Amino acid sequence: MKEVRVFDTTLRDGEQTPGVSLTVEQKLIIASALDKLGVDVIEAGTAIASEGDFKAIKEISNAGLNAEICSFCRIKKEDIDASADAEADSIFMVAPSSDIHIKSKFPDKGREDVIEMSVSAIEYAKERGLIVEFGAEDASRADLEFIVELFRNAVSAKADRLTYADTVGVLTPEKAESIMKRLTSEFNVPIAIHCHDDFGLATINTVYAIKAGASEFHATVNGIGERAGNAALEEIVMALEFHYGFKTSIIKENIYETSKLVEKLTRIVIPKHKPIVGEYAFTHESGIHTSAIMRDTSTYEPITPEMVGRKRQLVLGKHAGRASIEEIMKKLGYKADKNQMKEILVRVKELGDKGKRVTDADVKTIIETVLQIKQEKKVKLEDLSIVSGMHIMPTASVKLRINGQEIIEAATGLGPVDAAINAVKKAVSEFADIKLVSYHVDAITGGTDALVDVIVQLSRGDQIVTARGARTDIIMASVEALLEGLNMLI
């Protein structure tokens, strides 16, 4: 199996996503996770860009990570100096290669000037002791013969690696393959591919470039990045290893954990249907699918969720089948006769037909209602108060009765909802280690008095449940959903 290097640019190109700005501490947290994931190179930022980026690169460089730490550079001495001073191991230095970019960035210069400036910059970077990965920016809209000439001069100046950058995502798989065959036949140094997703082709373009001889690819976790984003690391890794027999250094079991961390710190929500890491990637609702999955997971899953650090989920809705209901009843320890099962299915499907997502708590209520089981809730809310304001840290105080025992706790949060949830989690901490996996809210009606529907996903060990709360008060709806879930888990 041919091994392919993974160059992660989540902290540089990924941070260029509109609205994303990471602190030094957040960058260090993500860098540590990327190192644990097994990436070969972490592009930690642009040292010349800001004091924060400089500090982040320096701290990451001195954090004792296994990955090579890289700083982004233009073909300018001040960029190189900043990167070297930040103690980066390497630089990803880019030069404009298309006539569009050359004219825009250097109005009074031409192609020969770019070559001259690039050679001078590379030689200076080598003097400063840096590993140089030299990239042709906007290469996919440039003259290929000029790219070859530019790269030839870069290699003569002792560039260590070369990168073909599809800066605006206009590359196609066929072109990626033919161009990379040409480049890898011309040069003996490692060549990387850097793709953007403007036409939704970033993953396949990267794969085709690797097939044609590229030995490294650039990508971001979750495919975040400016405009339509970058090539998604998790998609490329799984495609290369599963379909084409390439090997990477990525520890696949850490993919999902890293993905969720990046989602949390960047606040860029992962689309639910996103391959590999999306919420629905290993979630099944259809009755036919669910019954087959229970017998043989390979029927509707090309890879197991555990392979990428995930768990399978079976959800209910209007497509629910008997097998799904029986699986939930088995977990609850309940049995139903033929008529009762029919009635449970009808009620679940009715709820789904109303356009609602059916949660585990909804199904539990339906089952217990049909079976006429009266079960007292183990966790009850007796009181909740919130203090919040312009100059006050949102604080929540909660009084719960858990298994008959009165528990009073208080907690702060980023907002009143966060504070309330933190207070409840703190109150139940001695009874169970509960984690909030996801939180989703929808306004069902319009206006400031809108009815809101809150759905939470909670986990306790290997068990994951979903629960709903619906009220005009978003704080109470959130707490209600949390308590419903807790009553299933505790």
Range(s) of the chain covered by CATH 3.30.160.270 = 379-489
Q: What is the pLDDT of residue 331?
A: 77
Range(s) of the chain covered by CATH 1.10.238 = 283-370
**Which band of pLDDT confidence, cut at 50, 70 and 90, is reported for residue 442?**
confident
C-alpha to C-alpha distance for 46 and 41, rounded to whole angstroms: 14
**Which band of pLDDT confidence, cut at 50, 70 and 90, is reported for residue 260?**
very high
Task: Please give the CATH topology (third level) of the domain spanning 5-266.
Answer: TIM Barrel (3.20.20)
Q: What is the pLDDT of residue 330?
A: 81
C-alpha to C-alpha distance for 409 and 427, rounded to whole angstroms: 6
Q: What is the pLDDT of residue 88?
A: 98
pLDDT tens-digit profile of 413-428?
989 999 999 999 999 9
Three-state secondary structure readout of the chain: CCECEEEECCCCCHHHCCCCCCCHHHHHHHHHHHHHHCCCEEEEECCCCCHHHHHHHHHHHCCCCCCEEEEEEECCHHHHHHHHHCCCCEEEEEEECCHHHHHHHCCCCCHHHHHHHHHHHHHHHHHCCCEEEEEEECHHHCCHHHHHHHHHHHHHCCCCEEEEEECCCCCCHHHHHHHHHHHHHHCCCCEEEEEECCCCCHHHHHHHHHHCCCCEEEEEHHHCCCCCCECEHHHHHHHHHHHCCCECCCCHHHHHHHHHHHHHHHCCCCCCCCCCCCCCCCEECCHHHHHHHHHCHHHCCCCCHHHHCCCCEECECCCCCHHHHHHHHHHHCCCCCHHHHHHHHHHHHHHHHCCCCECHHHHHHHHHHHCCCCCCCCEEEEEEEEEEECCEEEEEEEEEEECCEEEEEEEECCCHHHHHHHHHHHHHCCCCCCEEEEEEEEECCCCCCCCEEEEEEEEECCEEEEEEEEECCHHHHHHHHHHHHHHHHC
* Token representation of residue 440: 């989703």
C-alpha to C-alpha distance for 296 and 28, rounded to whole angstroms: 41
Range(s) of the chain covered by CATH 3.20.20.70 = 5-266
Q: What is the pLDDT of residue 450?
A: 67
Q: What is the pLDDT of residue 289?
A: 45
**Which band of pLDDT confidence, cut at 50, 70 and 90, is reported for residue 282?**
confident
What average pLDDT does the structure give for the chain?
90
Say yes or no to pLDDT of 299 above 90. no
Q: For a pLDDT cut of 70, what percent of the chain falls above it?
A: 93
Task: Please give the CATH topology (third level) of the domain spanning 379-489.
Answer: Double Stranded RNA Binding Domain (3.30.160)
User: Does the structural domain 283-370 have CATH classification 1.20.140?
Assistant: no
- Residue 41: which of 21, 58, 20, 65 has the closest Cα? 65
Taking the mean position of all CA atoms in its chain, how far away is CA 439? 16
pLDDT tens-digit profile of 51-97?
999 999 999 999 999 999 999 999 999 999 999 999 999 999 999 99
